[in-house]
Amino acid sequence: MFNWILKKIVGSKNQREVRRMLPLVAKINEIEAGLQSLPDEALKQKTAAWKAELSQIQDPDLLQKRLNEILPEAFAVVKNAARRMVGMQFMVCDYEYTWNMVHFDVQLVGGMVLHKGRIAEMATGEGKTLVATLPVYLNALTGRGVHLVTVNDYLARRDAECMGQLYAFLGLTTGIIQHDQSPEERRAQYECDIAYGTNSEFGFDYLRDNGMATSREQQVQRGHYFAIVDEVDSILIDEARTPLIISGPATVSTHQYDRFKPLVEQLVRKQTAHVNKLVADAKELFAKNEKEAAGMALFKVKLGQPRNKGFLRAMEDPELRRLTDKAELSFYQDTSKDALVALKEELYFTIEEKQQEADLTEMGRSFLNPDDPNAFVLPDLLTEFADIETDTTLSDTEKVAKKAAAQQHCDHSAERMHNIAQLLKAYCLYEKDVEYVVEENKVVIVDTFTGRKMAGRRWSDGLHQAVEAKEGVQIDRETQTMATITIQNYFRLYEKLGGMTGTAETEANEFHDIYGLDVTVIPTNRVVARLDENDRIYKTRREKMGAAIDEIKASHGRGQPILVGTASVEASEVLSRMLKREHIPHTVLNAKFHMQEAEIISRAGMRGAVTISTNMAGRGTDIKLGEGVAELGGLFVLGTERHESRRIDRQLRGRCARQGDPGRSRFYISFEDDLMRNFGAADRMTKIMETFGMQEGEELEHPWLNRSVETAQKRVEQRNYLMRRRTLEFDDVMNQQREVIYGYRNEVMDAENPRVLIHEVINEVVPKKVAAFLTIESSDAEPDVAGLLQWVNSTFPVGLTREKCAFDTREIGANGEWLAKTLVEAYDRKAAIEDEAARSGLEKYVILNAVDRLWQEHLYAMDGLREAVYLRAYGQKDPLTEYKTEAYAMFVELMESIKNEVMNNLFRSTTNLQAFEQLLASLPRHLMQKDLLGSEGHLGANEGEADTMQSAPAAQSAFDQAMQKAPAPRAPKTAGRNDPCPCQSGKKFKSCCGRTA
Ligand code: ADP
């Protein structure tokens, strides 16, 4: 009842919103009618005039205000250009294409919604590709670049090539970002007024630009003004579950998946044997009417291997299922917690399907390591620390060492346990051809929502490596995260974001909370004539598929095209085999045939066509009805499973009945489907079924049952949303840090005079160091002048002495200022003798190099921290709070380390060898260490020289590194072959440094 009222209000709010836009639609059409008499060139001139005007407006609010003012005329111009293009022929993705579209009124409304930065929900076939042209054109007039985000490379190209003609007609340029392009090509695409591409390409370009490029020239994007995301739910919700990660060679690798694989394999086999026996026992017990014991045995199987085939088959029987549920319920009462623990101990490990967790039991631990089952238990670090602390036989240093050893031991155990748990999950929960496919010796994730392969993505937390170990493919041990961002945070970069899809309403909350996007449902151009029939429900998967095959056969017999949706790649293959046996010709469309996806799906509406498709594969391509098909009732969509999310089901239904076409849809479900098993829908239905007294092969059908399924779906949606939000909460911490680091990087890259930044670092770090060394804690202590000098002289070749510094003549603050000033001067002296052009590049390099190296180390540490805080969750601490606190501390440390590293490298790098030698020559070579070493240091002036030279190899290697990245020294370019070599060797250039050139 309440729901219904709510819907009424929501519905009418939406309607009011749409109604408010109708006068504008009339205005646009009126202006458009007036444009019809103009020559083509006049339209282009309007574009040019607007561009000139808008590029002058800096203030973002003023800019949007002006855009709103010109919207009616600009939309009219686009619509009018479309009208002029009707009949025009051109190539789109290598096929001849004839333009035949002029914007419908509802499309104008959709365009306005997108321009406002909202989501336009428009049903399949309403022409969203064309809708986007309106706000894209309007916003591209600002000259700030508009991005149109598609779900795959093919659609980016198709839409850009097609709509690009319209933009070109109006005088705007269109770029296409494709996976295999070089940075130069990419930059050229981004330079265009409009760029089409996938979310991954946009996101990775961002990461490369801000996390890896070392100069502006290497960056390809030019800002994030406005993006329109096509199939916005697929990209911002489904794909958002795995972050974009750029990985590079790892410096550290500690995992042992290879080592544990054989052990875990044996363990899984043992458990399988054990569990199979339990299933057999259960059946026997049941036959003997020992029902409770049977239920208990089955529940145990559920704990140990929820996807066991025998168990799934047993669950086909409603009575057995009820007994299992009953056993489960009895254990989840507070009073029987111990009994549950005891029950688990009869297994080798337990698997939680819903929470995706795997845990070793005592039995499993002893199996893995009979000598030391505790190898797989985390040591009690707190007690150990306390014991060490109170041990009076230990000195302070010994205590520290002991604690460090204990900590390390604990880390090793944690890593080991983590590896084992991930392997168990890989074996028991991740199925090949469902969750992933193996291709070219790689494990490629399949998006279980869309059936689409997600190339280049990896599961985090070592799960990916565990699956790689399981499949025996090369484990990517050598990689570590170099840059990462979640899809959510990438799209939050845009000043304005719009989205379109056929299905957004069910996820409206999430769009609002996370992206600040509100949904407007746009009415269809024509009345929807689709018939959505009640679900058909069967006891077992087998019966369900049998009935579905009959339906497919009947439909095919009538000549009515049928699109069959499956939940996974594996399911579509199983179905395909069944159809083959029945001699029904059909085409399979799944993640494995990504390339032909669009073409196959476009033929799915032909007479008699049978098309099997994973959920949403081929999304973005519309299905036109063949001749005579409308009379047969249009396209028939048959779902073989209800998906976890209602949205995906709506998407599938939406494949038929476009633009007022006839069409119908129906779902076939069984109690064995994952959704039914995991989210309680089955319990309720089992009861209903028993009440109805349902027999083998019989089916159920009632609107009430549809609702039970939807309740289960809502529950899963909610859970998935919470999981995504959790990921995001963790990434938010990283996001803030990333913004600081990327901001600093860009500042360095843009700096006209990077020396200022270097001075900044010196002025910041030096006084702190001085304070640290010279502050005395108690009145009888001495300031550590020797320590300070040691630091100064090992970091800067300035040869400072106690006398020269005369620290005792100033306050600590003044000492800090004095030393900073001295070092700045020393640096400037060094800089003055360097190659002017190369120097600024080198200075930037010194900073960027420090930032990148330490940031990557930091990312690695953050990964570790994330794992660690999860372990802490066992100790009743909130992982997120722990993560935030420690991440902050680590970041503060990171910033300090970066500055220190910059300082350390300042004098270790120079622009060319010549300058380096000059530098050495100019250094005060005496007294380098003498003052510090005191009686033991008996270095004379000559030895002092040797000492300086000693540090040269270190300096040279840093120098070598710098040379690789710094702009090449100018000398070899400018010197003629017969000129004296600029290295002052006295030889001719061609026979000296020019020899190798
Ligand atoms: P959606 O993405 O909304 O499902 P598409 O953009 O794929 O829809 O368009 C569906 C079909 O409708 C395409 O064949 C397109 O050419 C056609 N179409 C879109 N808008 C119009 C229009 N205004 N007039 C005629 N055909 C149109």
pLDDT, tens digit (0-9, with 9 covering 90-100), for 442-460: 888 887 766 777 776 677 6
DSSP track, 656-678? SSGGG-EEEEEEEEETTSHHHHH
Cβ atoms of 662 and 673 closer than 8 Å: no
The atom number, within ligand 1, closest to the CA of 124 reads 4
Query: What distance in Å separates the CA atoms of residue 544 and residue 571, rounded to the nearest whole number?
Result: 13
Residue 911 has pLDDT above 60, yes or no: no
The arithmetic mean of pLDDT across residues 167-178, rounded, is 96
Q: Write the single-letter amino acid at 401.
A: A
- Helix, strand, coil % (nearest 5) of the chain? 60, 10, 30
pLDDT tens column, 663-681: 999 999 988 788 877 766 6
For atom 8 of ligand 1, the residue with the nearest CA is 127
Task: Compare 918 and 371 and report the one with higher pLDDT.
Answer: 371
Q: State residue 952's pLDDT score.
A: 31
174-178, 389-393, 597-601 — which is least confidently predicted? 597-601
For atom 19 of ligand 1, the residue with the nearest CA is 127
Tell me what percent of the residues of the chain surpass a pLDDT of 90: 34
For atom 2 of ligand 1, the residue with the nearest CA is 128
44-53, 197-206, 326-335 — which is least confidently predicted? 326-335
Cβ atoms of 197 and 157 closer than 8 Å: no
Helix runs in 459-519, H state only: 463-471, 487-491, 508-510
Which contacts qualify for 99-103: CB closer than 8 Å, 24 or more apart?
99/165, 101/127, 101/130, 103/75, 103/78, 103/79, 103/130, 103/131, 103/133, 103/134
For residue 359, the 8-state DSSP code is: E
Q: How confident is the model at residue 58 (pLDDT cuts 50, 70, 90)?
A: very high
pLDDT tens column, 480-502: 677 888 888 899 899 999 999 98
DSSP track, 711-750? HHHHHHHHHHHHHHHHHHHHHHHHHHHHHHHHHHHHHHHH
Q: How confident is the model at residue 188 (pLDDT cuts 50, 70, 90)?
A: very high
Q: Residue 276 is encoded by which pair of tokens? A: 């199979």
Q: Ligand 1 pocket check: which of 83, 86, 105, 126 to mutate, most ligand atoms within 8 Å of Cβ?
A: 126
Strand ranges (E), 202-331: 226-230, 244-249
Q: State residue 921's pLDDT score.
A: 53
pLDDT tens column, 333-356: 767 778 888 888 899 999 988 767
Query: What distance in Å separates the CA atoms of residue 462 and residue 485, rounded to the nearest whole number?
Result: 18
Best CA proximity match to 496, nearest among 32, 60, 165, 179: 60
Residue 650 Cα, ligand 1 centroid: separation in angstroms?
19
Q: State residue 197's pLDDT score.
A: 96
The atom number, within ligand 1, closest to the CA of 102 reads 23
The atom number, within ligand 1, closest to the CA of 128 reads 3
How many residues are listed for the chain in this entry? 997
For atom 6 of ligand 1, the residue with the nearest CA is 127
Residue 314 Cα, ligand 1 centroid: separation in angstroms?
48
Residue 126 Cα, ligand 1 centroid: separation in angstroms?
6
Residue 102 Cα, ligand 1 centroid: separation in angstroms?
10
Cβ atoms of 415 and 870 closer than 8 Å: no
The arithmetic mean of pLDDT across residues 152-178, rounded, is 95
How many CB atoms neighbour CB 16 within 10 A?
9
Residue 808 has pLDDT above 60, yes or no: yes
Model confidence, pTM: 0.69
Cα-Cα-Cα-Cα dihedral sign, residues 109, 113, 115, 116: positive
Cβ atoms of 526 and 658 closer than 8 Å: no
Residue 927 has pLDDT above 90, yes or no: no
pLDDT tens column, 704-751: 778 888 888 888 888 888 888 887 888 888 888 988 999 999 888 888
How many CB atoms neighbour CB 455 within 10 A?
12
Q: Residue 143 is encoded by which pair of tokens? A: 């000259």
Q: State residue 397's pLDDT score.
A: 82
Mean of all residue pLDDT scores within the chain: 81
Best CA proximity match to 323, nearest among 353, 286, 348, 268: 286
Residue 833 Cα, ligand 1 centroid: separation in angstroms?
66
Strand ranges (E), 809-902: none
Query: What distance in Å separates the CA atoms of residue 266 and residue 272, rounded to the nearest whole number?
Result: 10
Task: Compare 984 and 132 and report the one with higher pLDDT.
Answer: 132
Q: State residue 421's pLDDT score.
A: 87
Distance of CA 94 to the CA centre of its chain: 32
Residue 48 has pLDDT above 90, yes or no: yes
Rg of the chain (C-alpha set): 34
Task: Compare 194 and 537 and report the one with higher pLDDT.
Answer: 194
Q: How confident is the model at residue 871 (pLDDT cuts 50, 70, 90)?
A: low
Q: How confident is the model at residue 909 (pLDDT cuts 50, 70, 90)?
A: low
Alpha carbon dihedral 190, 194, 199, 202, in 10-degree steps, equals 10
Residue 500 Cα, ligand 1 centroid: separation in angstroms?
13
pLDDT tens column, 116-159: 999 999 988 899 999 999 999 999 999 999 999 998 888 899 99
Strands 226-230 and 244-249: unpaired
Query: What distance in Å separates the CA atoms of residue 181 and residue 187, rounded to the nearest whole number?
Result: 10
For atom 18 of ligand 1, the residue with the nearest CA is 127
Longest dimension (CA), the chain: 106
879-906 vs 836-872: helix crossing angle, rounded to 10: 160
Compute φ and ψ for 32, nearest 5 degrees.
-60, -40
List all residues whose CB is within 6 A of at least one atom of ligand 1: 100-104, 107, 122, 124-130, 622
Compute φ and ψ for 560, nearest 5 degrees.
-75, 125
Residue 900: HSE in the Cβ half-sphere, 13 Å Cα cutoff: 12
The atom number, within ligand 1, closest to the CA of 622 reads 7
Best CA proximity match to 496, nearest among 157, 136, 77: 136
Side by side, the strands of the sheet bearing 436-439 are 436-439, 442-446, 453-454
Classify 870 as helix, strand or coil. Answer: helix
Q: Ligand 1 pocket check: which of 32, 124, 130, 229 to mutate, most ligand atoms within 8 Å of Cβ?
A: 130
Task: Compare 968 and 405 and report the one with higher pLDDT.
Answer: 405
Classify 499 as helix, strand or coil. Answer: strand
The arithmetic mean of pLDDT across residues 963-970, rounded, is 32
Q: State residue 593's pLDDT score.
A: 55
> Which residues share a beta bridge with 700?
537
Q: Write the single-letter amino acid at 301.
A: V
Q: Which residues contact 747 (CB under 8 A, 6 or more apart)?
A: 757
Query: What distance in Å separates the CA atoms of residue 849 and residue 898, rounded to the nearest whole number?
Result: 9
Residue 130 Cα, ligand 1 centroid: separation in angstroms?
7
For atom 21 of ligand 1, the residue with the nearest CA is 101
The arithmetic mean of pLDDT across residues 589-598, rounded, is 64
Q: How confident is the model at residue 833 (pLDDT cuts 50, 70, 90)?
A: confident
Q: What residue has token string 């290879």?
A: 258
Q: How confident is the model at residue 941 (pLDDT cuts 50, 70, 90)?
A: very low
Q: Residue 794 is encoded by which pair of tokens? A: 């090992």
Q: Write the single-letter amino acid at 777.
A: E
Query: What distance in Å separates the CA atoms of residue 328 and residue 342, rounded to the nearest whole number?
Result: 14
Residue 500, Ramachandran bin (φ over 0: left; ψ between -120 and 50: alpha; else beta): beta
Q: Which residues contact 423 (CB under 8 A, 6 or more apart)?
A: 257, 260, 261, 264, 466, 469, 470
Strand ranges (E), 533-594: 536-538, 562-566, 587-589
For residue 97, the 8-state DSSP code is: E
Q: Residue 382 is encoded by which pair of tokens? A: 């707190």
Residue 592 Cα, ligand 1 centroid: separation in angstroms?
27
Cβ atoms of 203 and 487 closer than 8 Å: yes
Compute φ and ψ for 307, nearest 5 degrees.
-105, 20
Residue 524 Cα, ligand 1 centroid: separation in angstroms?
12
For atom 27 of ligand 1, the residue with the nearest CA is 101
Strand ranges (E), 177-253: 194-198, 226-230, 244-249
Q: State residue 38's pLDDT score.
A: 94
Query: What distance in Å separates the CA atoms of residue 476 and residue 467, rounded to the nearest whole number?
Result: 11
For atom 20 of ligand 1, the residue with the nearest CA is 127
Q: CA dist 117 to 21, 42, 124, 202, 553, Å?
A: 15, 29, 21, 19, 46
Residue 103 Cα, ligand 1 centroid: separation in angstroms?
9
Residue 43 Cα, ligand 1 centroid: separation in angstroms?
24
Residue 839 Cα, ligand 1 centroid: separation in angstroms?
57
Q: State residue 194's pLDDT score.
A: 98
The arithmetic mean of pLDDT across residues 383-402, rounded, is 82
The arithmetic mean of pLDDT across residues 595-624, rounded, is 80
Q: What residue has token string 């789109």?
A: 92
The atom number, within ligand 1, closest to the CA of 129 reads 6
Residue 119: HSE in the Cβ half-sphere, 13 Å Cα cutoff: 30
Query: What distance in Å separates the CA atoms of residue 203 and residue 889, rounded to the nearest whole number?
Result: 28
Residue 127 Cα, ligand 1 centroid: separation in angstroms?
3
Cβ atoms of 50 and 141 closer than 8 Å: yes
Q: Which residues contact 404 (CB under 8 A, 6 or more apart)?
A: none
Compute φ and ψ for 92, nearest 5 degrees.
-130, 120
Q: Write the single-letter amino acid at 77.
A: V
Query: What distance in Å separates the CA atoms of residue 605 and residue 562, rounded to the nearest whole number?
Result: 8
Q: Ligand 1 pocket check: which of 85, 101, 151, 166 to mutate, most ligand atoms within 8 Å of Cβ?
A: 101
Q: Residue 472 is encoded by which pair of tokens? A: 């025996």
Strands 119-121 and 496-501: parallel
Query: What distance in Å separates the CA atoms of residue 228 and residue 147, rounded to the nearest whole number?
Result: 6
Q: Ligand 1 pocket check: which of 75, 122, 129 to mutate, most ligand atoms within 8 Å of Cβ?
A: 129
Q: What residue has token string 């529950």?
A: 715
Residue 160 has pLDDT above 90, yes or no: yes
Residue 128 Cα, ligand 1 centroid: separation in angstroms?
7
Q: State residue 396's pLDDT score.
A: 81
Classify 224 as helix, strand or coil. Answer: coil
For atom 26 of ligand 1, the residue with the nearest CA is 101
Q: State residue 681's pLDDT score.
A: 60
Q: How confident is the model at residue 886 (pLDDT cuts 50, 70, 90)?
A: confident
Residue 129 Cα, ligand 1 centroid: separation in angstroms?
7
Strands 453-454 and 442-446: antiparallel
